[in-house]
Amino acid sequence: SDAFIFRTTERLLEVCNQAPKVRKQLDEHKFYLEYGSYAKFRHKILKPE
């Protein structure tokens, strides 16, 4: 297994608000998929040959 140590600087406080927030992206780009489309995409519906 790997281990990482991240050291931050004071600059983090300056730049932390420059990137888009995940919550905002999730709320703005909602896309509702119907179950039929999902099942077709995931190959849940099998057609007899």
pLDDT value for 4: 96
Residues 6+ apart with CB under 8 A from 38: 44
3-state secondary structure of 40: helix
Query: Tens digits of per-residue pLDDT, 2-47?
Result: 999 999 999 998 898 898 889 988 888 888 889 999 998 898 988 8
Judge contact between 39 and 45, C-beta under 8 A: yes
Domain regions of the chain by residue span: 19-49
